[in-house]
A and B are shown apart, each in its own frame.
Chain A
Amino acid sequence: MGCLTVEVALGLKSGALNASPSSGTYQLCVNLNKGHKEEFKDLFKFTQLICARARTGTWGSKSFALVDIATIPLNSCIKEGKKNASKLWRLMESVHVYREGNLTGFDLSEMLVLIFSGGIGKGESCLAHKALTFLFPNSQDLSPYDESIVHDSFHQLIQEQSQRAEAESLELQEWPPRDKGGGSQLHGAPQEYSSATLRILANMPSRTIGRSRGAIISQYYNQTVKLRRKNSRPLLRDMSRSARPSIRQYDLEFDLTPREEEEKRSLLVEELQGLTITQRNHMLQNMPLSLTEKRCLRQDIYIRRGRQRCYQISQTQLYCCSHLKYHCIIAFRSLWYGLLSGLYALKPWRYSLKQISGQFGSSVLSYFLFLKTLVSFNILLLLLLLPFIVAVQVAFPPTSESSNFQSFTGLELFTGGGPFTHTVMYYGYYSNFTLNQPCSSHQSSDHCPANAVHLPYNMPLAYLFTIGFSFFITCITLVYSMSRSFGKSYRVGSTLGVHAITVFCSWDYNVTQKWASRLQHDNIRTQLKELLAEWQLKQYPRSVCGRLRQMTVLFLVWLLSLASVLGCAIAVYSFSEFMHENHEIRTETISEKLQEARLLVLPLIVCIINLVVPYFYNVLAICEQHDSPVLEVYVAICRNLILKMVILGLLCYHWMGRKVKSLEDQCWETFVGQELYRFMVMDFIFTLVDTLFGELVWRLISEKLKRDRKPEFDVARNVLELIYGQTLTWLGVLFSPLLPVIQVLKLLFLFYIKKISLMANCQAPRKPWRASHMTTIFITLLCFPSFLGAAIFLSYAIWQVRPSRNCGPFRTLDTIYEAGKVWIRRLEEASPSVTWFTWIHQNLVENTFFIFLMSIVLLVAIYFNIQVVKGQRKVICLLKEHINNEGEDKIFLINKIHSIYEKKAVHQ
């Protein structure tokens, strides 16, 4: 009996808990007070809501039948003019002391109060009080007198209902004996539960779902029912009473008997037939059943459907030509599969990537995947640049002015100068007129074939637009992939559950090597130990003295690292200054070859700094002794990034400020392009050197010393090097359109070299890596300092800097951007019919007001998004509170069930 009380309370209460402002039920309560016309429908909705809640929640199935009993009288009470439920009505009257109002209306919120307070015993009314204050936020404190009335009346109600339940022989059935071993001690509830209670707990749907096939089938049956209802639900009041969805069919199953399971299965098949094909496929795909069962289900669906529909048609068609047809189909299919497996093998680097992930896990894999992404970015750039700029220029070579052929010494491969200077590699080579013009003023006008088809090609314009467009596309792809990876790895309002996540998700199933798996065991063990130590540290925080010491160390280390950045910057700056002045003084006195070689000194120094300083930072990080290894990685990335960006910024300043002025008579754009080429080649060489010495030699030494300690593959540093190289490419695209080709070649080489070195020399990193977070960070770094910096640099070069007078496509203009303006002016002169275009240009592009407006719109959109996220956070907080409440409820109810069974045991 008491158990029934609990169960009714439980079913209704969990429904009522749903009555938050977000679910709309609260609204419903308010509505009900206002008018009574929509009552029937709304009340049904409410009952459904309760049921849905209990169905998806973690409560026992028997509670449902009782919810059914408890709520149906309410319906009939309204519907049939309160004839059948006069007793219930009396109860309502007795609690009406809470609110003044007319008794003809049915006050649902009062009913809720009843239900709430009834579920809790007299002494344990905290939840009831919570519910009351929730429902009546403005009411004064309730007197204990009122509360006791509520309790009494509710118990009366329960008694009546349970009598009815007995009459309908809905007695709780005897559970089949089932022994359950461990896990008997409940968390937060110290006492041991009796085996009877445990049996009930074991049969709760929350537990059967992880175990029995019947429960899975039944759960998915419920889901399909819900889906179908959502698709086509007639208004409830239009249906006859018997056709209304009964709550009983929703109930969740325990471990089913085979017969029951079969029944459920056929129900599921019927439900699945009612869905559309895509929905059905999706549903079947998501079912955690075995393949055989899925296939049987699917065949059942089609067989039954076939009986209904297409037997008349298909039978005759298929029987006459079946064998031949099937053989043809099979032959064709196997041919097709052969072809497909060939295609599969073509997927680039599939095997290499599998090998890497098999031996080193997903963190090292993320480096190689990032490398692959960079290759695809560069290929994207090339796809635009090659056909629209380079190929056209190659097809129409400019009349060579400086045909003094320089000898090729081999050094030019590193400097990018010499014979390469006047090629499509660099900006200076490109012509500044319309190519392929039939009778252009630039070419001699005597051969001007009349009827040949000519497509004029304005080179400066093409140059400007292609570069602009490729940057735009890159920007969009970057932002898109960044947002996607952010969406994947960061959820709004997610809390940390480090221990659980580490235990559940840290094993990398990709790993296929014995030694790699042993290593992974070690890593996970260290990680778990570290986590526990960290946790204990948090429980018992460090002493003031210790914290002070740590702060001092941190401060000193940061000071040192920033000072080193400053020192490097000053060194690079003064050296470039020195080289610059020297260059002007002593150009004549030294041989040409030496001059070439001198150009390499600056990149060399920068690369040495880039190579050595990160090691210095690593030493500093050892002194720091960060608590969490993740923080250590972030700090290392941050420092390296500061260093690289400062140096690159300085170099940009050096090129744009100084070189532009001093090289006015020559082609400064080509010079900058060559500089970037040199930096890139040097960077590549140094990466090779680093791989060789940092990894190979280190391994040899450690092998000599018989220490079982291979060097680790430092993902963060390597990725930063990739980002650095990509920044160089983006910086140089304007001045050297073929730079992405070099970058692609470099990356391809790097892939294989790094892979070989990794396989031979390295061991998997011991630091815990959250690979997807790291990928997000890598993409963000690629977007923010790197791409944005390059874009700013290029915009400055396009809008502000005067192009050199005697080379390149923009040699006659004041700025590169003027090419566009000139074109528009010409367009206006040539054909007045396109005035709308010039209008757009004048009013939308040139006008600051429009840009201002656009940015305001953007800001507003961002603001709205932020607000939405805030709202979601609030909702998440609310839901979390609900979950906590339900947890409390569950403990309470389990205790209740336990005490009831205890009593039963005593009686017997």
Chain B
Amino acid sequence: AEEDFSWFDLTEIELLRVKCLPHTLDVLRASSLYTPFHIQLSHKTQRARAHRRFIELLPPESRNVEDSLRVRVSTEQILTLPELKANPFRERICRVFSTAPERDSLSFEDFLDLFSVFSDAATPEIKSHYAFRIFDFDDDGTLNKEDLKCLVNCLTGDGQDTQLTSSEMKQLIENILEESDIDRDGTINLSEFQHVISRSPDFTSSFKIVL
């Protein structure tokens, strides 16, 4: 519980950006004072790694620190990362983490955010929250039957021959709702989802992408 939210305390990059603000050092002091040393160590190396990976995605002329903080990388390019290439939820992941108005590109901070959620340091609550957002295909705040259907199709593969039959699908969705829809309103909301996830200890170890 003492872990710092490391991914976002002031990095050297941010130092560059906010060079002359008087409170910077104060922040710096406060953030590094309360974080155990070894945790700082591992997080900072991970952040450095993430930055390197991000720069690799940029066109060669803008591969420097200043540009890497300004430029947004389009989703298509993010999807070429080997870590995401084989993931059936890759479009959803990019969409959820993108802060651009059209939800189609990621800045370095979004990128960092993405991998911090998928890192070891993220708490199970954060992980399950983002998992929920990823699975909520229509972005309406609950998992309804359509969302569940999309989710199952993503899991089993999209091809016509690989999908479950419609009767199986119906049965499966009914069973899922039976098990997890506590208040019986026909959809699964965030807290119900988190309740289900909390019963599966494997979730945190599988909801992870190593950079």
Which A residues are within 8 Å of any B CB, using their own CB? 58, 180-183, 185-189, 201-202, 206-212, 277-278, 281-282, 284-286, 288, 290-292, 294-295, 298-299, 302-303, 306, 310-311, 314-315, 318-319, 322-323, 326, 329-330, 333-334, 337, 340-341, 343-344, 354, 357, 362, 488-489, 491, 494-495, 497-501, 503-514, 516-518, 521-522, 524-525, 528-529, 532, 535-536, 770-773, 883, 886-887, 890-891, 894
In Å, the complex CA distance between A278 and B3 comes to 9
Q: Which of A210, A507, A508 contacts B190 (CB 8 A)?
A: A210
Contacts A525-B162, A525-B164, A772-B205 known; A291 to B112 CB distance under 8 Å? yes
Bound complex: CA A518 to CA B88 (Å): 10
Cβ-based interface call for B176 (8 A): yes
A826–B83 CA distance with the chains assembled, in angstroms: 66
Instruction: Check if B45 sits within 8 Å of A341, measured CB to CB.
Output: yes
A509 to B182, CA, bound (A): 27
Interface bits B170-191 vs A (CB < 8 Å: 1, else 0): 0110011101111111110111
A513 to B31, CA, bound (A): 38
Determine if B209 and A509 form an interchain contact, defined as CB atoms under 8 angstroms apart.
yes
Q: Would you call B71 an interface residue if the criterion is a C-beta within 8 Å of the partner chain's C-beta atoms? A: no
Please tell me if the beta carbons of B26 and A330 are within 8 angstroms of each other in the complex: no
A518–B78 Cα distance when bound, in Å, is 21
Listed A/B pairs (13) with beta-carbon separation below 8 Å = A182-B138, A210-B136, A210-B190, A210-B193, A278-B2, A285-B4, A286-B125, A286-B126, A291-B116, A322-B20, A505-B206, A536-B171, A890-B184
The answer to whether A330 and B202 touch across the interface, beta carbons within 8 angstroms, is no
Neighbouring A residues of B185 by C-beta, 8 Å: 186-187, 201, 890-891, 894
Q: Are B189 and A206 in contact (CB under 8 A)?
A: yes
Q: Which residues of B contact A500 (CB under 8 A)?
A: 175-176, 179-180, 196
Closest to B157 in A: A521
CB closest residue in chain B, given A485: B201
B49 at the interface (CB under 8 A from A): yes
Q: Is B197 an interface residue (CB 8 A)?
A: yes
Docked complex Cα distance between A506 and B151 (Å): 11
Whether B199 contacts A323 by the Cβ 8 Å rule is: no
Give the interface SS of chain A, mostly helix, strand, loop or mixed.
Answer: helix
Complex CA distance for A299 and B28, rounded to whole angstroms: 11
Q: How far is the CA of A688 from the CA of B82 in the complex (A)?
A: 33
Minimum CB–CB distance from B102 to chain A (whole Å) comes to: 16
Note all chain B residues with C-beta closer than 8 A to A281. Answer: 4-5, 31, 34
Bound-complex Cα distance A724 to B57 (A): 48
Q: How far is the CB of B158 from chain A (nearest CB, A)?
A: 9
Taking a contact as CB atoms under 8 Å apart, the answer to whether B207 and A306 are in contact is no
- Cα–Cα distance between A292 and B108 once the two chains are bound (Å): 10
Determine if A511 and B86 form an interchain contact, defined as CB atoms under 8 angstroms apart. Answer: yes
Within the assembled complex, what's the spacing in Å between the Cα atoms of A362 and B162?
Answer: 23
Partner of B155, one of A181, A291, A524, A887: A524
Q: Residues on B close to A: CB < 8 A?
A: 1-5, 7-8, 12, 14-16, 19-20, 22-23, 25-27, 30-31, 33-34, 41-42, 44-46, 48-49, 82-83, 85-89, 97, 99, 107, 109-110, 112-113, 116, 118, 123, 125-126, 129-133, 135-136, 138-142, 144-148, 151-152, 155-157, 162, 164, 168, 171-172, 175-177, 179-187, 189-191, 193, 196-203, 205-210
Residues of chain B within 8 A (CB-CB) of A528 are 152, 155-156, 164, 168, 172
Among A284, A512, A516, which residue has the most Cβ atoms of chain B within 10 A? A512
Assembled-state Cα–Cα distance A867/B132 (Å): 36
| Nearest neighbor of B191 in chain A, beta-carbon distance | A206
Docked-complex contact A211 and B141, CB < 8 angstroms: yes
- The docked-state distance in angstroms from the alpha carbon of A506 to that of B203 is 8
Given A187-B177, A499-B175, A528-B164, verify A507-B88 contact (CB < 8 Å): yes
Q: Which residues of chain B are near A514, meaning CB under 8 Å?
A: 85-86
B196 pairs with A504, CB closer than 8 A:
yes
Which 9 pairs of residues, A with B, have the shortest CB-CB distance?
A183-B144, A211-B141, A285-B5, A517-B86, A497-B179, A521-B157, A288-B129, A187-B186, A210-B141
A509 and B118 within 8 A (CB): yes
Is B142 a contact partner of A513 (Cβ separation < 8 A)?
no
Q: Are the CB atoms of A529 and B164 closer together than 8 Å?
A: yes
Least CB distance, A499 to chain B, in whole angstroms = 4
> Hey, which chain A residues are within 8 Å of B8, CB to CB?
284, 291, 294-295, 298
With A and B bound together, what is the CA distance between A188 and B181 in angstroms? 11
Q: Nearest residue in A to B111 (C-beta to C-beta)?
A: A291
| Known contacts A291-B112, A501-B196, then 13 further A-B pairs from the complex at CB < 8 Å, ordered by chain A residue | A180-B140, A209-B191, A285-B126, A288-B130, A291-B109, A340-B44, A344-B49, A491-B198, A504-B193, A510-B210, A512-B82, A521-B155, A894-B185
* A503/B152 in contact, CB under 8 A: yes
Inter-subunit contact B86/A209 (CB<8 Å): no
What are the residues of chain A within 8 A of B148 when measuring CB–CB? 503
Instruction: Tell me, in angstroms, the Cα distance from A188 to B198 when the chains sit together.
Output: 25
- Most chain A CB within 10 A, of B44, B142, B148, is at B142
Cα separation A306 to B25 with both chains bound (whole Å): 11
> A362 contacts B155, CB within 8 Å?
no
Q: How near does chain A come to B29, taking the closest CB pair, in angstroms? A: 10
Looking at B49, B97, B118, B196, the one whose CB has the most chain A CB atoms below 10 A away is B196
Given the known interface contacts A294-B8, A499-B176, A505-B200, the answer about A512 and B86 at a Cβ–Cβ threshold of 8 Å is yes
Inter-chain CA distance A465–B23, complex, in Å, is 58
Contacts of B197 in A (CB 8 A): 504-505
Contact indicator A343/B97 (Cβ below 8 Å): no
Query: Contact between A504 and B200 (Cβ–Cβ < 8 Å)?
Result: yes
List residues of chain B with CB within 8 A of the CB of A341. 45, 48-49
Assembled-state Cα–Cα distance A286/B4 (Å): 10
Contact partners of A517 in chain B: CB under 8 A:
86-88
Given contacts A278-B34, A285-B123, contact A209 B183 (CB under 8 A): no
Cα distance A209–B190 in the bound complex, in angstroms = 7
**Do the beta carbons of A504 and B19 come within 8 Å of each other?**
no
How many whole Å from B68's CB to the nearest CB in chain A?
15
* Contact call B201/A488, Cβ cutoff below 8 A: yes
Across-interface contacts of B135 in A (CB, < 8 A): 504
When distances are taken between beta carbons in the complex, the residues of chain B under 8 Å from A524 are 155-156
CA distance A513 to B156 in the complex (A): 16
In the assembled complex, the Cα of A525 lies from the Cα of B196 at a distance in Å of 20
Taking CB atoms, residues of chain B closer than 8 Å to A318 are: 22, 25
Q: Contact at B140–A202, with CB atoms within 8 Å? A: yes
If A343-B41, A524-B155 touch, whether A510 touches B208 (CB-CB below 8 Å) is yes
CB atoms of A183 and B187 under 8 A apart = yes
Find the B residue at minimum CB distance from A345.
B45
Shortest B59–chain A CB gap in Å is 23
Q: Are A182 and B146 CB-contacts (below 8 A) given A504-B131, A512-B85?
A: yes
Inside 8 A of B177's CB, which chain A residues have their CB? 187
Give Cα A318–Cα B44 distance, bound, in whole angstroms: 25
Chain A residues with Cβ under 8 A from B130's Cβ? 288
State which of A314, A334, A512, A522 has its C-beta within 8 Å of the C-beta of B26. Answer: A314
Q: Are A211 and B210 in contact (CB under 8 A)?
A: no
Complexed CA–CA distance, A513 and B86 (Å) = 6
Complex: chain A residue closest to B199, CB-CB: A494
For the complex, give the distance between the alpha carbons of A302 and B85 in Å.
40
Please state if B189 and A306 are interface contacts (CB–CB under 8 Å). no
How far in angstroms is the closest Cβ of chain B from A560?
Answer: 34
Per a CB cutoff under 8 Å, which of A183, A212, A278 touches B142? A183
Q: For A487, give the chain B residue with the smallest CB separation.
A: B201
Contacts of B118 in A (CB 8 A): 509
Whether A362 and B146, one on each chain, are in contact in the complex, defined by CB atoms closer than 8 angstroms, is no
CA distance in complex: A883, B156 (Å): 33
A512→B211 CA distance, assembly (Å): 11
Q: Indicate which residue in B30, B42, B116, B142 contacts A210 across the interface (CB closer than 8 Å).
A: B142
For A769, give the chain B residue with the smallest CB separation. B202
- Asked whether A210 and B189 contact (CB < 8 A) given A510-B210, A512-B82, the answer is yes
Expressed in whole angstroms, the Cα–Cα distance for A25 and B127 within the complex equals: 34
Residues of A within 8 A of B171 (CB): 532, 535-536
Chain A residue numbers with a CB within 8 Å of B181 are: 187
Interchain CA distance A511-B176 in the complex, whole Å: 25
Contact in complex: B141, A209 (CB < 8 Å): yes
